[in-house]
Amino acid sequence: MSLSISLITYFPIIIRLILSVIGVICFFAILGLFLVYAERKVAAGMQLRLGPNRVGVFGIAQTVADTIKLITKESFTPGMADKFLFFLAPFIVIISATLALAPIPMAKGYQFWNIDVGVIYVPAMASLSIIGILMAGWASNNKYSLIGAMRSGAQIVSYELSVGLSLLSIVILTGSLNFNEIVMSQDNGWWIFKGHIPVLISFIIFIIASTAEINRTPFDLPEAESELTAGFHTEYSGIQFAMFFLSEYVNMFIVSAVAATLFFGGWMPFHIGHWAAFNDIMNYIPGPIWFFGKSLFVIFLIMWFRWTFPRLRIDQLLNLEWKYMMPISLVNLLFVTLITIMGWHF
């Protein structure tokens, strides 16, 4: 009797968790399809060509066809590979991306998990992907895969510091690690405008360091097709490769969503001080449109990097972090602290 009562008590929670998992999977799938199509079109526009234009209207179904191909393609495991770790690695990478998305509010009251230390939680969960990458590189029993994985480890460990310091700028200004409280603190203006030049510098550092963390060009040394064929996922195919491929775009969205939330007000409309009439007009635009619009703007910047800058060498990549971005981040954090103490922000 007590067992049946406990099951009835927890049944709504179980159903809610199942629906949440299904919702996250569907969101990731749709997000991946859209971002792959968007990047192809952005690349085509920057190179004065058309991009996908055959399969479906305006080539929209091209990414769907590619997804079907990857799902139905055989997943091949090398004979000398560590089969268990080889199989487990892509799951760790995609799970870390899934967990990192949880506390980011996409609209008022719409987030998977409202946690008080969300600003720390997101980079902590996102950095777990390096475990899967190192696992994939080592388990593949391929020297190119191992070199790519080691490069990724050095890259993520290095640039994680600049990412953390840039996020601390907003934490100091707001006095909170909760994403919802940070969004609400931007009711009278986004921090990118209220925080003056130091916050703008923090945003620039965050975008550069985050691009390096998610292994996007010009920091794609762990994959470097011209040197390592495909780096840590050289030996992967089928749905296992699709997991690595999808996780890259999901991580790009998470980085953009965090930037939009901390620096551009998240789902908060564009407000100017006490301009009541102007602010009321902005309030008519729904919160999700603001959030996804800002996130897409940051995604476009990251895509723009890919078709603008050449790939760095590994020594240039590490020098950029340790000799330039790290010292600038530390000095900039002192300026943000001074602005906060003196109350010089708007």
DSSP code for 323: I
Q: What is the pLDDT of residue 78?
A: 83
Q: Find all residues with CB under 8 Å of 146, minimum gap 6, and list them.
A: 137, 138, 140
3-state secondary structure of 107: strand
Q: What is the mean pLDDT of residues 180-198?
A: 86
Q: Are 83 and 77 in contact (CB under 8 A)?
A: yes
Distance of alpha carbon 110 from alpha carbon 71, whole angstroms? 31
Picking from 208, 213, 245, the residue whose alpha carbon sits closest to that of residue 66 is 245
Q: What is the pLDDT of residue 2?
A: 52
Q: What share of the chain is helix, strand, coil (3-state, %, to 5)?
A: 70, 0, 30
Q: What is the pLDDT of residue 3?
A: 47
Distance of alpha carbon 195 from alpha carbon 345, whole angstroms? 5
pLDDT in tens, 249-292: 889 999 999 999 999 988 888 877 777 788 888 888 888 899 99
Q: Find all residues with CB under 8 Å of 14, minimum gap 6, and list them.
A: none
Residue 85 pLDDT more than 80? yes
Distance of alpha carbon 222 from alpha carbon 142, whole angstroms? 14
CA 42 → CA 49, 205, 231, distances in Å?
Answer: 10, 23, 25
Distance of alpha carbon 105 from alpha carbon 25, whole angstroms? 17
Q: What is the mean pLDDT of residues 189-200?
A: 86
**Is the CA virtual torsion 336, 340, 343, 345 positive or negative?**
positive
Picking from 203, 126, 137, the residue whose alpha carbon sits closest to that of residue 165 is 203
Q: Environment class of residue 16 by beta-carbon count within 10 Å: exposed (0-12), middle (13-18) or buried (19+)?
A: exposed
Distance of alpha carbon 55 from alpha carbon 61, whole angstroms? 5
Q: What are phi and psi of 107, to 5 degrees?
A: -165, 175
Percent of the chain with pLDDT over 70: 97
pLDDT in tens, 299-316: 999 999 888 888 888 888
> Of 5-14, 295-304, 313-322, 334-343, which gets the smallest average pLDDT?
5-14
